Amino acid sequence: MNVATEQWTGVEDAVMVRSPREVFDRYLSVAPLAHAIFRAAEVTAIAGVRLQRPVLDLGCGAGQFVRLALSQRLDSGLDLSADKVQRAQRSGAYGQVTRGDARDLPWDDGSFQTVISISVLEHMREPDVCLREVHRVLRPGGSMVATIVLEDIHRHLPSCRLFRRLGLAWIASRIATFHDVIFRHVTLLTQAEWERMFREAGFEITRLERTVSPRAIFWWEILLITAWPYRILDGLGVRSVWRPRVVRRAIARLFRRAVEQQQREGACLLVVARKGEASPMVRDSKTNQAADGPPRKPTAETASQRSFVSPPSRVAKPW
């Protein structure tokens, strides 16, 4: 088992989440406009939050969120993709980056004070198992901070809304399914279903808030077409975004309301969940063994044999 990095020279005990305006500007310098709008809107609810160390980034990808949205690098990152793990290691955003499966975390009990998960859980095959594992590796009193795409996103997609208004609900359903395939959304649930899953994993929910307003979703989908050239070039290792600061400022003024607007109908959910000081043991539904016990022996099935992100063929039921 790995042990979480405790401290490094020159780092503070907590990491701050940057303001939405700062996040938007930083994403605009390196990412497609659609992605910048979504990410900046997503962090609106957690701007200014202090993440107590040591911190694990669950589903860290290439480390872009940490580099652009947080004030300092994090202690640890985890992802199943070997390529993204290598890119995250090169980014300098983490003290250590580990390749592994979120359903079988390679750390001892109580290794972290904070676990963050930014738009990751909706891509997982078994998020309930993952949440029990997160609960296990958190210290008593530690917290998980997660943003999750809800099934509501289908309702806010402008293309789906248009076809429903035209009485062509079957086309809207096909579009929603296409979105799920492209973005690999396999566990799109309601807010109530996520709340229940966190509580069943042993968490006490301390904060629930909707984020990414319908206005932000509108512009995100409209502008997605402009992101494809970036995605293709990025896959080839070519940076394709160049926006001078004056251009970024103009874009920020144009889309500021979409980014900062918060509504009860937001398409994403912010969950801050706490592990109790004396949490009861949460049992693994497969092995019927306590998750909060001694380090478990590796199973025969390795991380390389399992998928952290489900294949596109397994999609959530359209709204």
Domains of the chain, with CATH numbers? 14-150+185-277 (3.40.50.150)
Cis bond upstream, residue 32 (ω within 30)? no
Q: What is the pLDDT of residues 162-184, one digit of tens each?
A: 999 999 999 999 999 998 998 89
- How many C-beta atoms surround the C-beta of residue 191 within 10 A? 16
Write out the E strands in the chain. 14-16, 50-52, 55-58, 74-79, 94-99, 112-118, 138-149, 203-211, 268-275
Give me the pLDDT at residue 103, please. Answer: 95
Q: Chain-wide mean pLDDT for the chain?
A: 81
SS3 272: strand
Highest mean pLDDT among 4-18, 43-57, 236-250: 43-57
- Locate 211 and state its tokens: 């984020």
Query: Contact at 8 Å (CB) between 37 and 219?
Result: yes
Half-sphere exposure (CA, 13 Å, Cβ side) for 200? Answer: 12
The pTM of this model reads 0.80
Does pLDDT of 132 surpass 80? yes
Query: Contact at 8 Å (CB) between 204 and 164?
Result: no
Give me the pLDDT at residue 315, please. Answer: 33
- How many C-beta atoms surround the C-beta of residue 269 within 10 A? 24
Phi and psi for 210 in degrees, rounded to 5?
Answer: -80, 145
- Helix axes of 214-223 and 158-165: crossing angle, nearest 10 degrees: 100
The confidence band for 225, taking pLDDT boundaries of 50, 70 and 90, is confident
Give me the pLDDT at residue 265, please. Answer: 80
Does pLDDT of 120 surpass 80? yes
Closest to 268 (Cα-Cα) out of 44, 20, 16, 57? 44
Q: What is the mean pLDDT of residues 208-228?
A: 88
Question: Is 49 or 196 the better-scoring residue by pLDDT?
Answer: 196
